[in-house]
Every structure is written in C-alpha cells, then in structure tokens.
Amino acid sequence: MEEMPPGYRFYPTEEELISFYLHHKLQDTNIVNINRVIPLLDVYRFEPCRLPWHCGELCHGDPEQWFFFVPRQEREVRGGKPSRMTASGYWKATGSPSYVHSSDGRVIGVKKSMVFYKGRAPDGTKTKWKMNEYRAILRDDDMPTSIPKLRHEVSLCRVYVGSGSSRVFDRRPTEDVLVRLPDHED
C-alpha cells in the first residue's frame, strides 16, 4: 500500500463504521480491499498489546486505535455467551449497551464497551486497554413496519488504549506541542 501523507488518520465515525464497513461485510459485498482496511480477526485469541500488529494497513503506525471485524464464536452459534478470555486476562463489559444512531436519527446498531483485565475474574487487575464492539441492526427498508434484527454473524471492534480523559478520540494537540504563532504587527 502506498505511503500515507503526514497527519493522515483512519478515523471513521460510529455511523460510518456500522452503515458502511459493517453492513458491507455482513452483506458480503465485494468491496475492493475492505479486509486490508479492517481485517477479520478473533481478537479474543490475542493479548491486547499484540493487536496493533494485526490491524489493517490504514491503521499501521496509528498509536491510538485499531479496528477489526470479529467473527461470531462457535459457542454463540449454539446459543451460549461468547468467551472473552485471553491467555493472560479477560475483556469485561462495562455499563449497558447503547444504541448507535444515524445522522437522520434511525437506530443502526448497538455499541458495547469493554475493558481488559489482567488475571482471572473476579480478581483481575484493570488495564488501560478498551474496546468498543459494534453490532449492526438491519431493517427491511421496503417494509416500514419491519422489526429490526440485530446481526450477530460479524461484529466490528475498535480497540484503543484509554487516556483517562473523557475525550479519548479528541485530536487536539497537547499544550506542550502547540506552536505559538508570532504576534502580527500592522
């Protein structure tokens, strides 16, 4: 893949993640290079610190966030809960799942937030690794009274290291890297 210009970031909105990337993956449309952008990976087989090495080409070198399509586990297919354990810890859901809305106000997906804990439950130690898991809600647009269906075949995950700030994905530079412009004299 060609070298990206300085300052380029793959930074899709939640709406873009669900309505474009996840919907195309679920519908199995042949989008050129979608797996190069967001690869299919069972993130629960890897320690969080190893996930950046498996990310898509557009996220290589991004120190803040990485994206993955995650296939449904066999135990989920049989009606069980997914295993979110790794060799050294586990992903624990935090809070309640929330809806993701499109710009026109429709519910298009569900977002679940998780934190990685080292060790075994319930005595694990909380880390700064976090994950947002997105699942798509598909409707039949031809039938306005259709019941929305939560799709489970594949989810899309955003993995990142929490900064301790409520503005995790804010792109403003810190004060120590701001460049002062010289005062303009007329």
Over residues 16-66, the pLDDT tens digits come to 999 999 988 888 876 667 888 899 999 999 999 999 988 887 677 677 889
Query: What pLDDT, on the 0 to 100 scale, is given for residue 162?
Result: 87
CA distance 14 to 21: 10
Residues in the chain where the model's pLDDT stays below 70: 1-5, 7, 30-32, 58, 61, 77, 139-148, 164-186
Reduce the DSSP state of residue 139 to 3 states and report it: coil
Q: Collect contacts of 76-82 with beta carbons under 8 A, ≥24 apart.
A: 76/152, 82/44
Query: What pLDDT, on the 0 to 100 scale, is given for residue 30?
Result: 66
* Strand locations in 22-106 (E): 65-71, 89-101
* Strand locations in 21-88 (E): 65-71
All residues at 6 or more sequence positions from 96 whose CB lies less than 8 Å from its CB, including other chains: none
* Strand locations in 79-153 (E): 89-101, 107-118, 125-138, 149-150
Count the alpha carbons within 13 Å of 131 in the hemisphere toward its beta carbon: 25
CA distance 50 to 86: 12
Query: What pLDDT, on the 0 to 100 scale, is given for residue 70?
Result: 93
- Cα-Cα-Cα-Cα torsion 166, 170, 176, 180, nearest 10 degrees, comes to -140
Reduce the DSSP state of residue 8 to 3 states and report it: coil
Query: What pLDDT, on the 0 to 100 scale, is given for residue 172?
Result: 42
Count the alpha carbons within 13 Å of 70 in the hemisphere toward its beta carbon: 27
CATH number for the domain formed by residue range(s) 14-76+83-164:
2.170.150.80
Query: Measuring CA to CA, which residue among 28, 17, 182 is closest to residue 109?
Result: 17
Query: What pLDDT, on the 0 to 100 scale, is given for residue 110?
Result: 93
Query: What pLDDT, on the 0 to 100 scale, is given for residue 17?
Result: 94
CA distance 121 to 114: 14
Query: What pLDDT, on the 0 to 100 scale, is given for residue 4?
Result: 63
CA distance 140 to 150: 12
Query: What pLDDT, on the 0 to 100 scale, is given for residue 152?
Result: 73
Is 72 within 8 Å of 99 (Cβ atoms)? no
